[in-house]
Copies of this chain bind each other. A is one copy, B any other.
Amino acid sequence: MQFIKQYIEDNKQRLLDELFELLRFPSVSADPKYAPDVLKTADYVAGKLTEAGADNVEVCKTAGYPIVYGEKIIDPSKPTVLVYGHYDVQPPDPLELWKTPPFEPTVRDGKIYARGACDDKGQFYMHVKAFELMMQTDILPCNIKFMIEGEEEVGSANLATFVKENKERLKADVILISDTSMISMEHPSLETGLRGLSYLEVEVTGPNRDLHSGVYGGAVANPATILAKMIASLHDENNHITIPGFYDDVVELTQAEKDALNSAPYDETQYKQDLDIAELWGEKGYSTFERTGTRPTLEVNGIWGGYIGEGAKTVLPSKANAKISMRLVPNQTSEEITKLFTDHFLKIAPASVKVKVTPHHGGEPAVTPTDSVAYRAAQKAIAEAFGKDPIPTRGGGSIPIVALFEAELGLKTVLMGFGLDSDALHSPNEKYDIFNYYKGIETIPLFHKYFAELSK
């Protein structure tokens, strides 16, 4: 392992510079005006895979943004690790809240500030550099395949097709993904579960046009008020979701599992201070970790209606809209929950308005068994790189394709991420610690080593 650290030390500036170059591409998949940039990013990634020593590198066309593929087959009888990542990023807005421009990576206090620094460029690029390291030091123990897509932030709409049409090419023994976080560098951890996702847009329409609130106010239902009432009704006084049937398929943790989960360090004062809030909020009867990792939730991601510009306008709006998403846990399914929400939301709408519900992309929850070869390989790799065993955690976020991989390729996924909760994913001033970047490059070759050993 010393030579691994040495390689990183000898190449540390270049390892950073290449990542910065990658971060400069504004590969925002959600907004069509960035399309040329997204495509250029794919080419850059392909080039870097080739430079690192990959064969059969291809920028694979899809109906949307391309998927970058590359591989190194050293011996068909060896296990194969399939690395998944994504080169697209979240939209950067609101721009005015960034201290430095989102696509001009800037280092402050040992952290790289840029959109995508952690989610997911900093994280997947560690695997490209770890691959280069293993090739350069001639220690590659497993076959390795890369599948880096460009539409994760908008639902990976074309990934399923690609996976189904490339089952041979993608044959492997495990999928390795770095797109999650650890508790801290002092308390390394491994994600053992991800929540699923159901995402919908709702539109409440009252009158067929904006009205003068003096002329009509009091006689006509205001869609903003009605939407507020409908949203308000979705959580009861215990912050329990009121959609009928919502919790039917939820698997409760055993007491032992809860104890393990809650054994992770947790400083509630620090948690609240970091967010500058006086009080937490959540489902009665559950701890913070249980609430974010093991319980399904419902959030309003966006809400708008009426006049929202400068100054005052006394309008009774025609419409009010919201984007609402739910995080799911086993054994809820995205399709069932989307249906339950839609039916319920349409049902609670009063007759004085019309309601439309439009589902967006969804994703299934997933749990990785801790007794698998893949999990144990990751556990050993982290124990060696960090000097202590990783704590098993349950992640709040969703990576919907994990269930897709299991269904289509029959493969379990190991979620070995090196991010931190403070990385501000999806927010302004997203960052990734330089320490974590190098630590990941150091740990990944150890995963490959132990996966090969434990697979024998």
Q: Are B199 and A426 in contact (CB under 8 A)?
A: no
**Within 8 Å of chain B (Cβ to Cβ): is A431?**
no
Q: Give the shortest distance, in Å, between A190 (CB) and chain B (any CB).
A: 16
A301 and B278: CB pair below 8 A?
no
Say whether A313 contacts B302, CB under 8 Å: yes
Contact A425 B327 (CB under 8 A): no
A227 touches B228 (CB 8 A): yes
Instruction: Tell me if A245 counts as interface (CB < 8 A to partner B).
Output: no
Residues of B within 8 A of A275 (CB): 206-209, 211, 216, 220
A269 to chain B, nearest CB (A): 14
Contacts of A308 in B (CB 8 A): 302-304, 321, 323
Q: Which residues of B contact A225 (CB under 8 A)?
A: 231-232, 234-235, 299-300
Q: What separation, in Å, do the CA atoms of A295 and B427 have in the docked complex? A: 44
A233 contacts across to B, CB distance below 8 A? 232
Q: How far is the CB of A145 from chain B (nearest CB, A)?
A: 27
Contacts of A76 in B (CB 8 A): none
B306 and A352 within 8 A (CB): no
- Stretch of A128-136, A252-260, A390-398 contacting B (4+ beta carbons < 8 Å): A390-398
The answer to whether A320 touches B307, judged by C-beta atoms less than 8 angstroms apart, is: no
Cβ contact within 8 Å between A283 and B218: yes
How distant is A449 from chain B, measured CB to nearest CB, in Å?
31
With A and B bound together, what is the CA distance between A429 and B325 in angstroms?
Answer: 35
Query: How often does this chain occur in the complex, in copies?
Result: 2
- A317 in the interface, Cβ–Cβ < 8 Å? yes
Docked Cα-Cα span, A295 to B330, in Å, equals 51
Tell me the smallest distance from the CB of A78 to a CB of chain B, in Å: 35
Taking a contact as CB atoms under 8 Å apart, the answer to whether B427 and A315 are in contact is yes
User: Which chain B positions have C-beta within 8 A of A368?
Assistant: none
Interface status of A408 (Cβ within 8 A of chain B): no
Given contacts A219-B282, A228-B227, contact A312 B316 (CB under 8 A): no
For residue A36, CB closer than 8 A to chain B, the reply is no
Using known A-B contacts A214-B398, A228-B231, A426-B212, determine if residue A316 contacts B304 with beta carbons closer than 8 Å. no
Could you say which of B30, B93, B316 contacts A301, with CB atoms under 8 Å apart? Answer: B316
> Does chain B have a CB within 8 A of A311?
yes
> B93, B303, B316, B361: which contacts A224 (Cβ < 8 A)?
B303
Once A212-B426, A232-B228, A427-B209 are accepted as A-B contacts, the answer to whether A219 and B309 lie under 8 Å apart by CB is: no
> In the bound complex, do residue B219 and residue A291 qualify as a contact, i.e. CB atoms below 8 Å apart?
yes
Query: Which residues of the partner chain B approach A350 to less than 8 Å between Cβ atoms?
Result: 279, 281
1/0 per position for A110-121, CB-CB distance to B under 8 A?
A: 000000000000
Contact with B along A213-249 (1 / 0, CB 8 A): 1111111111011011101111100000000000000
Inter-subunit contact A396/B351 (CB<8 Å):
no
Closest 5 CB pairs of A and B: A214-B397, A221-B281, A232-B232, A302-B306, A218-B297
Give the B-binding residues of A (Cβ under 8 A): 30-31, 90-91, 93-94, 97, 154-155, 181, 195, 197, 199, 206-222, 224-225, 227-229, 231-235, 275-283, 288, 291-292, 295, 297, 299-317, 320-323, 325, 327, 350-354, 360-361, 395-398, 421, 424-429
What are 21 sample pairs from A and B whose C-beta atoms fall under 8 A apart? A30-B309, A30-B310, A30-B311, A209-B424, A214-B396, A214-B397, A216-B292, A216-B396, A217-B292, A218-B282, A218-B283, A218-B327, A219-B282, A219-B291, A224-B303, A228-B228, A228-B231, A279-B351, A301-B312, A301-B314, A314-B426
Beyond the given pairs A278-B351, A302-B308, 19 more chain A to chain B contacts, judged by CB atoms under 8 angstroms and listed by A's residue number, are A31-B310, A90-B313, A195-B214, A199-B312, A209-B275, A210-B426, A213-B299, A213-B327, A215-B292, A215-B395, A218-B292, A220-B281, A222-B281, A228-B228, A228-B300, A301-B315, A313-B323, A314-B398, A315-B427
